[in-house]
Chain A
């Protein structure tokens, strides 16, 4: 299959720096990244990801697509500063990541809301550890974030009183309230029901593209990856590594409906389907042997 726009990992770096932006270094640079976990019982070690190289420019929406267990969450945790790389490094704005920082916010798959806090206090959590944001005006910031995600009227509710979709809106509001440059989203819609998921995909697409944030969005849904991403990074498993990087090149705003008839969408979907099916088959053979 010959797709002109498909870029292999080797060519990505060059093409990205020379293409749309020539403002110098990309916002996120991932260099020869590898993470090995030591196995508790056996004492052996497990290679979660290996040889990951990726550049993300400022304002780009990158979706990371791969089968479960391919290390994409580990990858995101390294960028977030939650896991230290065993080899290689991640640079944000030219500086190596050594831990979590206010320039990066995370939306978690399991929401990770504090059950003992109301919606408003959960959102406030996103900025209360930032000394420069803690002072006056936080109330307006929090309120604005709550309204942005469409939760006005639920400020005093506890997370357990909200549906999964609404809980994830709280998670989203918490992530954007401190206005980080980078949003890391770890299958944020994975635990949300199908209908809500479709609505929220479009909302995220609108919201994020309007604010111009740089996003790393992890998903195992092909449609989601295409609908949201400027580029799609396909992961393979065992060990987790970048299989290929594709540019979607579909005009924004995109909607679930309009995109279905887009030739490029169909082309990408078929290609990704083949790629992931190969991965899944390989995984099945591995586990049966």
Chain B
């Protein structure tokens, strides 16, 4: 509920039926209108020569460059390279993060011995390790997968751990009362109770993993979307550079909505607000 509908207390009942849906459609329309207006102003400002085109190409040029990318083989090769690395790194991070997270969350001893270091590593800006990792693993896919993994694993791990720790003891007691024990306890109670937390961690991990991949490509190597973007900006082909940024915005947002969809599908019982509070 938004403030606008709460503030005027005496307005609540004056509303006529049907305004709700029409309201939603109106907001979408307004959003589209505003975005189009921004693009139009941008286009006009550049056309009028107020901003040099080499510096900030107009949206029409960016769109042309974007469409040109989509039919370019080189682009799809770069896409496959980057996404391949991200998927491998992220998959490793999910497996390690969830398994270690559950173990550490479940065992008080592990939580006490290992968790402080995990927290320390979690709060380290691990992007700073990128040069060392490239030094150790070279300029190929390995270093990029390692960076993706390293950046993605900690949010997944710590969120899972947080989830496993906060599984209500009364839930566990209830399960025991009904004869659930051993691995079944993990599978039927701990895992489902932790799943929403893990998914929230995966959401954050995916974004960070993508950062790792792109940073790896910036710092060394010859393939990938990050490399293409850097080259374009370096050669001052700003229309292609902006088109590449648009590509990354689309990839990032698609990935996040996909995970969001999974969250709703796999854990529809979960209340996002309680997870946000933790």
Indicate whether A and B are direct neighbours in the complex (CB within 8 Å): yes
- B268 CB to nearest chain A CB (Å): 18
Chain B residue contacts of A86, Cβ below 8 A = 13
Q: Is B10 a contact of A38 with CB atoms below 8 Å?
A: no
C-alpha spacing A81/B12, complex, angstroms? 12
Q: Determine, out of A16-24, A40-48, A106-114, A196-204, the stretch whose residues face the partner at the interface.
A: A40-48
Q: Is B13 a contact of A84 with CB atoms below 8 Å?
A: yes
- A265 CB to nearest chain B CB (Å): 38
Q: Is A83 a contact of B13 with CB atoms below 8 Å?
A: yes
- B85 CB to nearest chain A CB (Å): 44
Chain B residue contacts of A100, Cβ below 8 A = 9
Does chain A have a CB within 8 A of B20?
yes
Q: Is B20 a contact of A98 with CB atoms below 8 Å?
A: no
Q: Is A37 a contact of B13 with CB atoms below 8 Å?
A: yes
Q: Is B17 a contact of A43 with CB atoms below 8 Å?
A: yes
Interface code B1-39, partner A: CB below 8 Å = 1, 0 otherwise?
A: 000000001111111111111000000000000000000
C-alpha spacing A234/B56, complex, angstroms? 71
Chain B residue contacts of A98, Cβ below 8 A = 10
For A100, the closest partner residue in chain B by CB is: B9
Q: Is A99 a contact of B9 with CB atoms below 8 Å?
A: yes
Q: CB < 8 Å: which of A35, A38, A99 contacts B15?
A: A38
C-alpha spacing A44/B21, complex, angstroms? 12
Tell whether A36 pairs with B13 under 8 Å between CB atoms, given A41-B20, A43-B21: yes
Chain B residue contacts of A45, Cβ below 8 A = 17
C-alpha spacing A99/B10, complex, angstroms? 7
Q: Is A38 a contact of B9 with CB atoms below 8 Å?
A: no
Chain B residue contacts of A35, Cβ below 8 A = 13
C-alpha spacing A45/B13, complex, angstroms? 10
Chain B residue contacts of A85, Cβ below 8 A = 13
Chain A residue contacts of B18, Cβ below 8 A = 43
Q: Is A84 a contact of B17 with CB atoms below 8 Å?
A: no
Interface code A85-120, partner B: CB below 8 Å = 1, 0 otherwise?
A: 110000000000011100000000000000000000
Does chain B have a CB within 8 A of A82?
yes
Q: Is B12 a contact of A84 with CB atoms below 8 Å?
A: yes
Most buried by B among A39, A40, A44, A82: A40
Most buried by B among A36, A38, A82: A38
Which 3 residue pairs of A and B lie closest in terms of their CB atoms, listed nearest first? A43-B17, A84-B10, A43-B18
- 8 inter-chain pairs at a CB distance below 8 angstroms, sorted by A residue, are A36-B13, A38-B15, A43-B20, A82-B9, A83-B9, A83-B12, A84-B13, A99-B10
